[in-house]
Amino acid sequence: MKRTIKSFVNRAGRITIAQRKAIEEFLLDFSFRSKLSFQGENSFLKHRPLYLEIGFGNGLNLVRQAEYYPGRNFIGCEIYESGIGSTLINLKNRGINNVRIAVGDALETIEYLSLKSLDGVFILFPDPWPKKRHNKRRLVNKDFLRKIGPKMKDHAKIFMTTDDRSYAQEIIEVLAEDAFFENIAGERSFAPRPSWRESTKFEERAHRLGNSIFEIIACLKN
Ligand SMILES: C[S@@+](CC[C@H](N)C(=O)[O-])C[C@H]1O[C@@H](n2cnc3c(N)ncnc32)[C@H](O)[C@@H]1O
């Protein structure tokens, strides 16, 4: 049987009582009922411009974007339970209803999306997998671009941020070689930080450690 390499590890991790309770009580309200809900003319996915955040962590960017842009819909993919719990608490407390959470591997969620359905994609501080032998677990690679590309509208962009220099270099290299995507900052270049992006937990960590932060924005070639 072919073993698929995952970009995450399922750690049991610590979860608070409040986070657990939020998952038990609210996750269903913020979930797709079935794989079929990814289709359907009037679904959440076709109603409004649609944005996807992969690996939203504790959801700071996802919640703020959804609050700031009530006219857009957002899908957040995550497997980290305590982050999902915190995000649900925030969504509920702020009365936000334009977010759906897809628990599990984002690559599977992407498969269910309709062609040309996404207006934008956020991947903020993806797990860096810094050891050479683990590099193959990195989410953003040629294969990933091949999967996400057809699901993006022509004007859509992927916003990627990392404080791992080797991952950043790998991404700009992959983009330079890619047949369908281009780097909007120019080949093998980094973009300025988008001012509208919420600072995330891992961005704060990068600042604390004094790490450089690399912004990469990709769009489809015309
Ligand atoms: C380093 S954390 C960054 C979290 C957040 N974006 C931030 O900036 O604080 C990366 C997150 O991506 C999630 N992740 C990694 N691969 C994923 C995948 N294939 N599908 C869904 N989530 C994934 C991990 O569970 C983890 O929470």
Pairing of strands 99-103, 118-124: unpaired
Shortest-distance Cα residue to atom 4 of ligand 1: 57
The pLDDT score that the predictor gives to residue 34 is 67
Cβ-in-10-Å burial (0-12, 13-18, 19+) of 56 comes to buried
* Top CATH class, 17-220: alpha beta
Question: With contact defined as beta carbons under 8 Å apart, do 168 and 134 qualify?
Answer: no
- Catalytic residue, chosen from 127, 143, 154, 164, is 127
The pLDDT score that the predictor gives to residue 11 is 73
The pLDDT score that the predictor gives to residue 194 is 95
The pLDDT score that the predictor gives to residue 35 is 65
Interval between CA 86 and ligand 1 midpoint (Å): 14
Q: Is 127 noted as a catalytic residue in this protein?
A: yes
Nearest to 181, CA basis, from 211, 210, 151? 151
The pLDDT score that the predictor gives to residue 40 is 60
Q: What are the residue boundaries of the structural domains of the chain, listed by start?
A: 17-220
Rounded to whole angstroms, the Cα distance separating 170 from 188 reads 10
Question: With contact defined as beta carbons under 8 Å apart, do 19 and 93 qualify?
Answer: no
The tens-digit pLDDT sequence of the chain (222 residues) is 455 899 998 777 799 999 999 999 999 999 987 666 666 655 788 779 999 999 999 999 999 999 999 999 999 999 999 999 999 999 999 999 999 999 999 999 999 999 999 999 999 999 999 999 999 999 999 999 999 999 999 999 999 999 999 999 999 999 999 999 999 999 999 999 999 999 999 999 999 999 999 999 999 998
Interval between CA 126 and ligand 1 midpoint (Å): 5
Please give the model's pTM, rounded to 2 decimal places.
0.96
How wide is the angle at C-alpha 199 spanned by C-alphas 197 and 202, nearest 5°?
Answer: 125
